[in-house]
């Protein structure tokens, strides 16, 4: 029996080290709501890619058959699917020891899905009943500009441009933070210091203390500017601010325990870049 156990442990360790493994090699909290297998990861990646292609083609005007397939909604769909694929891809590439199917962040709590559903609902209802509310192109453009086609650019408002730029910059900040922190990054809060943990204060962290949080904050608000959702923009701002304020306070108490005065000095020197969160 002991020989069988040792063989199984060796196979499990080899599986953890395999490049295609979705079994984290460190202790990571998992909900277990999604099957943690390479097949599940491949299926989700395929579906996200398909959704991204639909959104991108809609954004570029390839699906203009229906009244609701607008470039605004297309951009939102493409940005949403790219975000979730990017979370897994960056984790697999730079933080493999924590990579699992939950790295897609699709099982991110009911409130997250309610928020996304509410954004689409507000956009569709407003577009149907008061379409003039969705024509302030200057709001959406700030976010879309780097990837817009000429035909789309001619339709954009400042509001839309602002939103698109915020989405792209937010995505860059979050991905850059995850890549630079590498194995020091975790989707869940760590309350136990590992030997490999180090305080990251260079790169993007020299400019922003919580770049992954700030990135998502501006990414999410940018999506609502692109959709020109007045109600959801305000709600997103309030809810995200409350969430990140609470999370940063909890996380920083732990980081002070981990790194002592080094973190206190870093915290005093570098801000969060999130409004009203020092």
Per-residue confidence (pLDDT) for residue 159, from 0 to 100:
67
Please state, in angstroms and rounded to a whole number, the distance separating the CA atoms of residues 64 and 126.
Answer: 18
Q: Which helix (H) or strand (E) holds 209?
A: none
Per-residue confidence (pLDDT) for residue 101, from 0 to 100:
95
Spatial contact of 88 and 41, defined as CB atoms under 8 Å apart: yes
Tally of helices (H runs) and strands (E runs) in the chain: 10, 1
Please state, in angstroms and rounded to a whole number, the distance separating the CA atoms of residues 90 and 92.
Answer: 5
What three-state secondary structure class fits 113? helix
Could you tell me if residue 275 is left (phi over 0), alpha (psi between -120 and 50 degrees) or otherwise beta? Answer: beta
Give the global pTM: 0.88
Distances (CA, A) of 199 to 24, 82, 91: 22, 29, 19
pLDDT of residue 2 exceeding 80, the answer is no
Please state, in angstroms and rounded to a whole number, the distance separating the CA atoms of residues 186 and 247.
Answer: 13
User: Quick one: which of 242, 236, 271, 247 has its CA closest to 187?
Assistant: 247
β-bridge partners, 32: none
pLDDT band at 156 (very low <50, low <70, confident <90, very high): low
Distances (CA, A) of 7 to 3, 18, 25: 6, 17, 17
Give the model confidence (pLDDT) of 94-113 as tens digits. Answer: 999 999 999 999 998 899 99
Q: Which helix (H) or strand (E) holds 21?
A: none
Q: Is the dihedral of CA 224, 227, 232, 234 positive or negative?
A: positive
Give the model confidence (pLDDT) of 181-205 as tens digits. Answer: 999 999 988 888 888 899 999 999 9
Spatial contact of 149 and 60, defined as CB atoms under 8 Å apart: yes
Please state, in angstroms and rounded to a whole number, the distance separating the CA atoms of residues 108 and 220.
Answer: 14
pLDDT band at 143 (very low <50, low <70, confident <90, very high): very low
Per-residue confidence (pLDDT) for residue 147, from 0 to 100:
44
Both tokens of 111, joined, read 């409130």
Please state, in angstroms and rounded to a whole number, the distance separating the CA atoms of residues 168 and 157.
Answer: 17
pLDDT band at 13 (very low <50, low <70, confident <90, very high): low
């Amino acid at each position: 029996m002991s020989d069988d156990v040792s063989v199984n442990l060796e196979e499990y360790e080899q599986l953890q080290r395999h490049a295609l493994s979705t079994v984290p090699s460190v202790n990571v909290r998992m909900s277990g709501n999604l099957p943690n297998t390479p097949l599940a990861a491949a299926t989700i990646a395929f579906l996200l890619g398909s959704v991204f292609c639909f959104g991108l083609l809609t954004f570029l005007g390839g699906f203009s058959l229906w009244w609701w397939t607008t470039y605004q909604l297309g951009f939102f769909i493409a940005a949403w699917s790219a975000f979730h694929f990017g979370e897994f891809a960056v984790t697999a590439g730079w933080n493999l020891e924590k990579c699992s199917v939950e790295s897609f962040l699709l099982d991110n709590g009911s409130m997250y899905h309610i928020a996304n559903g509410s954004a689409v609902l507000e956009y569709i209802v407003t577009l149907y009943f008061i379409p003039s509310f969705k024509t302030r192109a200057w709001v959406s453009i700030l976010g879309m500009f780097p990837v817009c086609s000429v035909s789309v650019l001619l339709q954009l408002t400042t509001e839309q441009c602002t939103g698109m730029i915020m989405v792209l910059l937010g995505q860059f900040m979050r991905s850059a933070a995850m890549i630079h922190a590498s194995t020091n990054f975790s989707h869940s809060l760590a309350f136990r210091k590992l030997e490999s943990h180090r305080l990251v204060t260079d790169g993007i962290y020299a400019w922003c203390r919580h770049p992954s949080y700030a990135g998502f904050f501006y990414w999410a608000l940018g999506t609502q500017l692109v959709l020109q959702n007045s109600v959801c923009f305000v709600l997103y701002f309030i809810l995200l601010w409350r969430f990140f304020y609470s999370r940063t306070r909890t996380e920083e108490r732990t980081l002070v325990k981990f790194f002592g005065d080094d973190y206190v000095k870093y915290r005093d020197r570098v801000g969060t870049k999130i409004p009203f969160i020092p």
